[in-house]
Amino acid sequence: MTTKYTEDHEWARQDGDLIVVGITDYAQNELGDIVFVELPEVEQELSLGTEAAVIESVKAAGEVKSPVSGVVAEINSALEDEPEKVNDSPEGDGWFYKVKPSGNTDFDQLMDAEAYADFLESLS
Amino acid sequence: MNDTESLKHTPLLDLHKSANAKIVPFAGYAMPVNYELGIIKEHLHTREKAGLFDVSHMGQISIQGNNAASLLENLIPVDIQSLSVGRQKYGLFLNEKGGILDDLMIINRGDEIILVVNAACKTADFDYLQTHLGDKLSIRKLDDKALLALQGPMAGTVAERVSGEDLSDMKFMNVREISFQGITCLVSRSGYTGEDGFEISVANEYVTDLARMLLAESEVELIGLGARDSLRLEAGLCLYGHDLSQDTTPIEANLNWAISPKRRSSGERAGGFPGSDIILSQMPKNVSRLLVGLLPQSKAPVREGVTITDKDGNVVGEITSGGFSPSLGYPISMGYVDIDYATVGTELLAMVRNKPLPVNVAKSTFVPHRYHR
C-alpha cells in the first residue's frame, strides 16, 4: 500500500482500486484542535486540486484539495460526530474519503514519503 | 519560519518558547496562540482550575495631575470622579461620530489614574491622550510594566496561597497592591474570561519569576491567546477591532451599561464626551442595528465576516466573532443584525461557503459569568 503526499499536506493511499485521502500529521498539528469536518458526497465527482472537504479547527477553516481526479466511493462519516479523530489519527481513523480515480497519472505524480519529508524540511 | 523576528515581544517570550508555545504575530508582538495542551484543553482548564495568560502586550498608561478624573471625563463617558480609590471601571474612547476608538480599564490609584488599553491601539491611545490632555496632565507609558492574567475558579485560592494574604474581601473590580513572595504587584480582580481572576501588573524584571511562581502551583497552566479568544467569546465579551470599531457606537454594541448614569441625558454631568450627542440620542435602543449573540443550529462554526440574511435571503447583518465553544461543545457567534431581527429567538441564516445555515439570535453571554462579587 503506497502512500503519497501533496504540497497542501494531503495524503493519498492506494486501497485496491480506490484511493484513500486524508490530511497529514503536519497539517493536523498546524490546524490544531479540529472541531468540524464537511465531507464530500458519495458519487460526487472530484477533479484534481479542487475542494473536496472542509476542515475547521478552533482557530481557522481549511480545506482538503483532492489529490486525484475521480468519483467519491465512500466517506468517513464518523468524522461528522468525532472530528477529533483527525487530530488523534490523521493517517488512520482520521481518513476523509475514498475515491475511484479516473486514471493513474494523478496518483503517480504525487510526492512519495521521502520527497514529502524533504518538502516539510524546506518549510522549517 | 523567521516571520516573527521583526516583531516586538514581551519579557516572557523565552518562557513561552520553553513551554513549546506556538508563536504567532498579534498586534505587532510575537505571542503564544497555544501551548502543548492546545486551545480546547487550555480553555477547559481555565474554566475548571486556573489559567495564566501573558497579556504584557497590552498598554498601561499612568495619568497624574490636578483634576485628572474630571479632565478624563471629557474623553470617556464614565463617571470617573466618583470612582473610589482602589476601584476599576470599564471605559471607552470615542470619536465625534460616537464610534469606538478603543475600550479600556480605568483604575483609580489615588495619586494617579491608570488606563489599561488594547495592544493594537496603545500608540494611538497615548497620542490621543497627549493631544487632548497633555498640556494639563502628566501622561506616561508604563513600558516598564508587564501584565499577567490569572483566571479561573481556583485563581483566588492560588493567589491567596502564593501571596499568603486573605483576598476574600477583594471583590470584582477592586484593585490593590499584593506582594507575591516579595514581588510587589498592582492587582485588579478582573479579567477577560468571565471567570473570577486577577490582572497583575508587575515590573518587567520580575514577571518571569512571578509567572514561574504561579505556574509552580498544581492548578495553574499557561494559556495562549487562542483560548483567551474562545473564553471571552463564550462570556459574551467584545473584542476591539472585531465586535467594536470606529464604525460602531457603544449603543449599537449593546454597551449601554458602559455609559455611566451621570453622563446620560438626565444625569448630573450629561454628555461632554466625543460623540455624546449621537450616543445619548441613541439611548436606550434607538439604533438601526444591534450586536447580538447568534447560535448556529448546525455543527459548522460561523466566523467573522459571514453574512447574515433573513429567511428570504435579504442581508440583515454580519458576524463579527465566531467559533467553536469548547465549554458547550457547539459553535457560537456574535454579530450585528438589523434591530428588527435582534430579538432573542429570531431565526436567521448565515451564508457559510455559499450555503445558508440556520442561526438563532441568542443572549450573547453563552456561559454565565462567575465573578467574585
For B351-373, the pLDDT digits (tens) are 999 999 999 999 999 999 999 99
Whether residues A56 and B301 touch (CB distance < 8 A) is answered with yes
pLDDT at B6: 86
Nearest to B236 by CA among B310, B328, B100: B328
pLDDT at B1: 44
Whether residues A61 and B1 touch (CB distance < 8 A) is answered with no
The CA distance from A22 to A11, in Å, is: 5
For the segment B1-14, what is each residue's pLDDT rounded down to a tens digit? 445 678 999 999 99
Q: Which CATH number fits domain A3-103: 2.40.50.100, 3.40.50.2300, 2.60.370.10, 3.30.2320.30?
A: 2.40.50.100
pTM of the model: 0.95
* Chain A nearest C-alpha distance from B24 (Å): 12
Which residue of chain B comes nearest to A55, CA vs CA?
B300
Task: Cite the beta strand spans of chain B per DSSP E.
Answer: 22-26, 29-34, 50-54, 59-64, 87-94, 100-108, 113-117, 138-141, 145-151, 175-180, 183-188, 197-203, 220-222, 289-296, 307-309, 315-325, 330-338, 347-352, 355-362
User: What ipTM does this complex have?
Assistant: 0.88
Q: Does B35 lie at the interface with A, CB-CB under 8 angstroms? A: no
Q: Which CATH number fits domain B288-362: 3.40.50.620, 3.40.50.300, 3.40.630.40, 2.40.30.110?
A: 2.40.30.110
Suggest the residue from B24, B40, B43 to mutate for an interface test with chain A (most A CBs closer than 10 A): B40
For the segment B187-230, what is each residue's pLDDT rounded down to a tens digit? 999 999 999 999 999 999 999 999 999 999 999 999 999 999 99
- Whole-number mean pLDDT of chain B? 97
Dihedral sign for Cα A114, A115, A119, A122, please.
positive
Partner residue facing A58 (CB), from B1, B40, B299? B40
CATH number of B13-57+144-234: 3.30.1360.120
Partner residue facing B39 (CB), from A32, A38, A80? A32
Which residue of chain B comes nearest to A53, CA vs CA?
B353
Q: Where are the domains of chain A?
A: 3-103
User: B199 with B207: CB under 8 angstroms?
Assistant: no
Q: Which residues of A touch B323 (CB under 8 A)?
A: 58
Q: Where are the domains of chain B?
A: 13-57+144-234, 288-362
